[in-house]
């Protein structure tokens, strides 16, 4: 029988973590990465028998790699603290990894909730997803060093898509959705500024319109009414706001560098005393 590890990265999630961990009894071990936690996240994790990796991980890729390093399972199930699973999901995961010796990773469907409303359509454009590669053999998934939505590299044989979904409480309400867009674009802007891959406003606008169309039409966001329109709009705004904020960061850095260059050079204290004696 294959050994299964559950990996959860959490930041101040003591309220939501218990429900997530309580449903993972089908896993052989649980690893919780407590990133800059100032609440009871670590205590809750240990209460449920989880291994805890505590530290400061501003970059998402290294955060996940730190957790993977503590996992000892043949397979890893990747979760967030605001996600939950059903007994049927656990049964399907166990049957899948015990049965299939050829595959190395699987796509997992995700049911996203805004408050109490299930929103199935329209997700994408770095603002949400309805499916992700969350079940994989240890050593077959890695992430780039980025602050938000790091690109993942998957190696080996794709096994297909599971049937049972994860339940993701993605936003409490529309205000929470706007706040998330602010957090995501702030982090993405730092990545863009650091990499120097800041595009023109025209390029950003084109990408934004294309993402809106893809989410609202191709991914059928229109079927979700007001929320579908809003989610598609957020996906379209994501690249535009990220790049505008990146340009703002670069202007700030350039101004700071200019001020530093123009600052008067003060002679070292011993030299000033020597000049005073000479006078």
In the block, tokens 């996992």 appear at 71
Distance CA 127, CA 84 (A): 19
In this structure, how many other beta carbons lie within 10 angstroms of the beta carbon of residue 103?
A: 18
Judge whether 190 lies within some domain.
Answer: yes
| Structural domain of 20 | 4-170
Structure confidence at residue 276 (pLDDT): 44
Average pLDDT over residues 9-31: 95
Mean pLDDT of the chain: 92
Same domain for 120 and 213, yes or no, is: no
Enumerate residues 6+ apart whose C-beta is below 8 A from 116: none
Judge whether 271 lies within some domain.
Answer: no
Average pLDDT over residues 168-188: 95
DSSP 82: T
Judge whether 270 lies within some domain.
Answer: no
pLDDT at 121 over 90: yes
Same domain for 183 and 150, yes or no, is: no
- Would you place residue 269 in the very low, low, confident or very high pLDDT band (cuts 50, 70, 90)? low
pLDDT at 272 over 80: no
Structure tokens that stand for 22 in this block: 């309580």
1 or 131: whose pLDDT is higher? 131
- Would you place residue 260 in the very low, low, confident or very high pLDDT band (cuts 50, 70, 90)? confident
Give the chain's domain count.
2
pTM given for the model: 0.87
pLDDT at 145 over 90: no
- The runs of H, that is alpha helices, within the chain are 17-22, 41-47, 60-70, 87-99, 174-195, 201-213, 225-262, 269-278
Same domain for 41 and 164, yes or no, is: yes
Decide if 145 contacts 92 (C-beta within 8 A).
no
Same domain for 37 and 66, yes or no, is: yes
């Amino acid at each position: 029988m294959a050994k299964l590890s559950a990996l959860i990265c959490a930041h101040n999630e003591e309220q939501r973590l218990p429900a997530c961990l309580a449903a993972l009894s089908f896993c052989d071990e649980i690893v919780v990465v407590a990133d800059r936690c100032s609440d009871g996240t670590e205590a809750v994790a240990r209460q449920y028998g989880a291994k805890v990796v505590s530290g400061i991980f501003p970059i998402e890729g290294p955060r996940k790699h730190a957790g993977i390093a503590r996992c000892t399972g043949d397979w890893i199930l990747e979760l967030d603290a605001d996600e939950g699973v059903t007994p049927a999901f656990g049964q399907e995961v166990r049957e899948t990894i015990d049965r299939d010796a050829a595959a190395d990773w699987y796509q997992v469907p995700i049911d996203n909730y805004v408050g109490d409303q299930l929103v199935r359509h329209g997700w994408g454009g770095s603002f949400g997803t309805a499916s992700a590669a969350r079940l994989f053999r240890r050593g077959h998934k890695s992430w780039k060093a980025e602050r938000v939505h790091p690109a993942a590299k998957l190696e080996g044989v794709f096994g297909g898509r599971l049937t049972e979904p994860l339940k993701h409480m993605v936003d409490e309400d529309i205000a929470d959705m706007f706040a998330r867009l602010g957090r995501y674009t702030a982090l993405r802007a730092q990545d863009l500024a650091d990499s120097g891959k800041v595009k023109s406003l025209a390029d950003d606008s084109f990408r934004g319109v294309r993402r809106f169309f893809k989410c609202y039409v191709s991914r059928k966001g229109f079927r979700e009414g007001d929320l579908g329109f809003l989610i598609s709009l957020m996906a379209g705004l994501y690249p535009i706001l990220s790049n505008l904020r990146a340009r703002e960061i670069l202007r700030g850095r350039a101004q700071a560098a200019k001020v530093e260059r123009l600052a008067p050079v003060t002679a070292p204290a011993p030299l000033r005393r020597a000049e005073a004696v000479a006078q």
